[in-house]
Structure 1
């Protein structure tokens, strides 16, 4: 539920103020929300006791969809930031945008801690990985907050698209890793327990 609120506020504030950094952060949050949904779908299947082939199939689908979503996010963020560099458009102030960033600074560490703790308790590598991913989002939040702050308090119009572009390497790496992992999942490999 928090992710939906984060996405809604950051994208609305980003489009209203022309902030590439907020829009990019919101787009990345959409992908993160999808990641969480697919993780729940995958874990739910495991909890219901689906067979190994179906587990691998779910994993392959989830990773493939995430790779595609991350790739689209990279293209969108690059387009948005480069457009701002060309137009040299300055983002206006958004207390809503700054507010959601500040809330995320507090919420993300708590979410990461909960995911990691539950992942350790259930021996779920997926949950532990997602906890690390949430902490990486914390660093992105700090970068975007600095970018938005520099625009507003120093008048550096270029800080906003630079902050957006600083998100790209992480998102591109996630696109590559999830795509590579999806490719490596062999759905029809023989099960040891059959």
Structure 2
């Protein structure tokens, strides 16, 4: 008599696992691209910012340093997931990454406040930097593309971290617009105070990121057991 009982289909599970690994790998490639681009942002914006006395450009560059850290830790974490490390190790890497990011964002807030308030007190006006404006304009195009890639692969692999990082990248887009407006008002309206004010407008978002990263790090239980 023929046995008609169904047997578990492992082919679908293997296919899903393969697709998930490929999605994680491509998400990691997006983060590598993000890291390389953010390093470029840091180099140009800080050089131009210090050379012209622009608090807004310097603050934007400092935030880009934090974004570099974020991308580097995401690469580290995704590489581990791609290699199939244990759930406990994934949670451990997540806790470390979020803790470091929270500290980095906090330091960035303190530095930006110091830089901007010093310029306001000294009433220092920033000069024009076409290099600075150039990297800001490039970022207006590049950041949405990076954010789309992070969100796409985050959704495809069900990775909250990638989707969360996509939101961070779009916040950088907002900051880029604010800095451009600040520089424009200084150069074309003569409002010397617009540059440090633009820098201070970045602070609430960076401070919120510091809080959220710290809260999420605290919530991660490395030794949690599955139900």
Correspondence for 1:51 among 79, 82, 86:
86
Counterpart residue number, 1:187: 222
Residue 17 of structure 1: aligned partner: 52
Residue 132 of structure 1 deviates from its aligned partner by 1.4
The aligned residue for residue 85 of structure 1 is 120
User: Structure 1 runs of 4+ off > 6 angstroms?
Assistant: none
Q: TM-score, normalised by structure 2?
A: 0.83
Tell me, yes or no, if structure 1 residue 66 matches structure 2 residue 101: yes
Q: Is this contact kept in 2: 1:53–1:191, CA < 8 A?
A: no
Match of 2:156 in 1: 121
State the partner residue of 1:111. Answer: 146
CA offsets, 1:103-127, max 9 Å, x none?
0011111111111112222221111
| Cα distance per residue 1:54-105 (max 9 Å; x no partner) | 1111111000000000000000000000000110000011000000000001
Unpaired runs of at least 5, structure 2 = 1-35
Q: Which moved more, 1:4-13 or 1:36-45?
A: 36-45
Contact preservation (8 Å) 1:17, 1:92: yes
Which runs of 5 or more residues in structure 1 are unaligned?
Answer: none
Match of 2:3 in 1: none
Give the aligned partner of residue 134 of structure 1: 169
**Larger CA deviation: 180-189 vs 169-178:** 180-189
For 1:180 and 1:70, the matched residues in 2 are separated by 13
Normalised by the length of structure 1, the TM-score is 0.96
Higher relative contact order (CA 8 A, sep 6+): 1
Q: CA RMSD in A?
A: 0.9
Aligned pairs, number? 192
Specify the alignment match of 1:27 in structure 2: 62
1:189 offset after TM fit, Å?
2.0
Distance 1:120 1:53 in 2: 22
1:190 deviation in Å?
2.2
